[in-house]
Homo-oligomer: A and B are copies of this chain.
Amino acid sequence: MSESDPGFQAALEEAKQGAREGGIPIGACLVDKNGKVLGRGHNMRLQKGSAILHGEMSALESAGRLPASAYKGSTMYTTLSPCLMCTGACLLYEVSRVVLGENKTFLGGEDLLRSKGVEVINVGSKECERLMQTFSSEHPEDWNEDIGEDGK
């Protein structure tokens, strides 16, 4: 498992698309146990005025309605450590593995995922870090809003 994994590359491409749209550059891609992409998307807070469309949530929504069996053995690739909302969504649908780009910008629910038996892999992507460092330094208020912090 590395940055070159197609699922991770799809998540990274989503993050870059988010950046091109002027949004928060976090992307995600949900891949099933056979390697099929179920859904992909990126953070839409700024583009849609959304409080819930984080990258992982956008990927789940893009996948649409699926039976529980479709998520078995699946992997959620995301460019940033998943917040508690996205962590909870992965737990609800019993995603088996979360592969994340980095957790230096933000550390989410990794321990909670592991405590529930979800495999968590951090690929340590400098590109993901750079995307977030650029955005959060230029738009600190938008970034704080996205993670429910007051920035003080």
Identify the A interface with B (CB < 8 A): 45, 49-52, 57, 60-61, 63-69, 71, 83-89, 91-94, 109, 112, 141, 144-145, 147-151
* Interface secondary structure of A, over-half rule: helix
A52-B45 CB under 8 A given contacts A83-B92, A87-B88? no
Integer count of this chain's copies in the complex: 2
Residues of B within 8 A of A71 (CB): 148
Whether A144 and B92, one on each chain, are in contact in the complex, defined by CB atoms closer than 8 angstroms, is no
B64 touches A51 (CB 8 A): yes
CB distance from A45 to the nearest CB of B (A): 7
Q: Which residues of B are found within 8 Å of A65, using beta-carbon distances?
A: 45, 49-51, 145
User: How long is the Cα–Cα vector from A150 to B66 in the complex, in angstroms?
Assistant: 11
Contact in complex: B88, A84 (CB < 8 Å): yes
| Cβ of A38 to closest chain B Cβ, rounded Å | 10
Shortest A85–chain B CB gap in Å is 4
